[in-house]
Amino acid sequence: MNLGGRDPKHDEPAQSRFRWTDALEPLSQHGLLSVGRDLRINGCNEAAERLLGKASREMVNLSSDQLPSSIAALVDEAVRSGDPIRRRNVTIGSGGRVQVDIVLGRTGSGEIDHLVVGLVDVEGIARLEEQLWHLHRFANIGVLSTTVAHEIKNALAFVKTFTDLLAEEEAESERLKLARLEIQRIDNTARQLLRLSRGDQLELSRLNLHSVIENSLQLIQHRLDSHNITLVRSFESDVDQVDAREQQLELALINLYLNAIGAMSQGGELRLTTRKDASGSSIILTVEDTGSGISEADLPYLFDPFFTTKSDGSGLGLSITQCIIRHHGGSIWAESGPVSGAAFHVSLPLSR
């Protein structure tokens, strides 16, 4: 269909037609197509190339009916009705979804002179909204972590002073040693929370992951004993050097241990294994328990801030652990056993 009126040969030059896409270029994440009165494409931006899977040189001068059929149908509808198209979601290609808007440009006499077709990646918007939601939640973690850490440190100052005085007045018993160890662990946790909430630059050191694992296990050994949990190690990786901040990595590991311990109220096994990934560039630590497992419905939300299935849980442990692992260039994921038990896998890049 030709829009009629002036002969297309006497249309405004192609250079001026491109101004429609140039003027709207700030919306660079939105695909933009400029369609002339002859219903041929005379301009497009990079986002349109990306969404439609064609280079500009392939699309310019194509008839609009050579666009994906769902978009071509909307162009035809806009021309026939004389009305703009607003936020129509259509499927293109192999199932991708885009939101289409079509604006009509008219001559002084009211005839349609050109169309601007806007394309928005619907899935991209959903991903962006999800990322913004996560950023908002992690921002909340930052505020909460700062507040909680300050309160913890203030309270610990009194408790630590009291236990130090007890240690001076009498021989240090095993219980007192345990209390002081727990106080130190909580103090370290508060310090790391403050560093995370401030976004401090990580000062990394070359560490042996197996040694970090062993050190962190010492801090929760009494919990394993009191919960009748057996520790099983299987360190298969012959290389374990990573660049990390030891205290933050210990905090992340302890969170995973405590999560596993909480899932085994009747006792069980805590299994720790390490192996290199297929490429040999990363080491993977698996923390596995023999508890009740994770429901399929809960799996997608495990690392969301404030998500918890425990009545006394804060929903922050796994979120903070994920934050720490990502700060170290790694990744973490979880899976549930077919009958029982859960496994958390932490991948960290090996030192080069």
The secondary structure of 193-248, three-state, reads HHHHHHCCCCCCEEEEHHHHHHHHHHCCHHHHHHCCEEEEEEECCCCCEEEECHHH
Structure confidence at residue 11 (pLDDT): 43
Tens-level pLDDT at each residue, the chain (352 residues): 555 544 444 444 433 343 444 444 444 467 889 999 899 999 888 888 888 988 888 999 999 999 999 999 999 999 999 999 998 989 887 667 888 999 998 888 888 889 999 998 877 766 655 655 555 555 555 555 555 555 565 556 656 666 666 666 666 666 677 676 667 767 766 666 666 555 556 678 999 999 999 999 988 888 899 899 999 999 999 999 999 988 889 989 999 999 999 999 899 999 999 999 988 999 999 999 999 889 888 888 888 777 777 766 666 788 888 888 988 899 999 998 776 799 999 999 999 8
What residue spans define the domains of the chain? 8-121, 204-352
Nearest CA among 244, 222, 238 for reference residue 349: 244
Mapping DSSP to helix (H, G, I), strand (E, B) and coil, where does residue 139 land? helix
Q: What is the DSSP letter of 351?
A: P
CA distances in angstroms from 339 to 34, 100, 157, 231, listed in the order given: 57, 46, 45, 21
Quick one: 96 exposed, middle or buried, by C-beta within 10 A (0-12, 13-18, 19+)? middle
* Amino acid in position 116: V
pLDDT for position 18: 38
Which tokens belong to 250? 């210990």
The one-character DSSP state at 12 is: P
CA distance to 213, 230, 264, per residue, from 267 (Å): 21, 8, 5
DSSP class of residue 278? T
What tokens appear for 240 in the block?
Answer: 């374990």
Chain centroid to Cα 76, Å, comes to 40
DSSP 90-123: EEETTTEEEEEEEEEEE-TTS-EEEEEEEEEEHH
Q: Give pLDDT, residue 282.
A: 95
The number of beta carbons lying within 10 Å of the beta carbon of residue 46 is 14
What local confidence, expressed as pLDDT, does residue 77 receive?
Answer: 94
- Kind plus residue range of the DSSP H or E element containing 274: strand 268-276
**What is the pTM (predicted TM-score) of this model?**
0.51
Roughly what angle, to the nearest 10 degrees, separates helices 174-198 and 246-262?
110
For residue 13, what is the DSSP state?
P
- DSSP lists the bridge partners of residue 288 as 271, 343
Q: What is the CA radius of gyration of the chain?
A: 30
SS3 of residue 84 by DSSP: coil
Q: Side-chain half-sphere of 71: how many Cα atoms within 13 Å?
A: 31
Q: Are 114 and 34 in contact (CB under 8 A)?
A: yes
The DSSP bridge partners found for residue 232 are 271
> What local confidence, expressed as pLDDT, does residue 13 receive?
40
Which DSSP symbol is given to 64?
G
Question: What is the Cα–Cα distance from 20 to 144, expressed in whole angstroms?
Answer: 47
**CATH architecture, domain defined by 204-352:** 2-Layer Sandwich (3.30)
Q: How many CB atoms are located within 10 Å of the residue 240 CB?
A: 20
Four-way CATH pick for 8-121: 3.40.50.300, 3.40.50.620, 3.90.1150.140, 3.30.450.20: 3.30.450.20
- Alpha carbon distance 283, 50 (integer Å): 35
Backbone angles phi, psi at 163, to 5 degrees: -70, -35
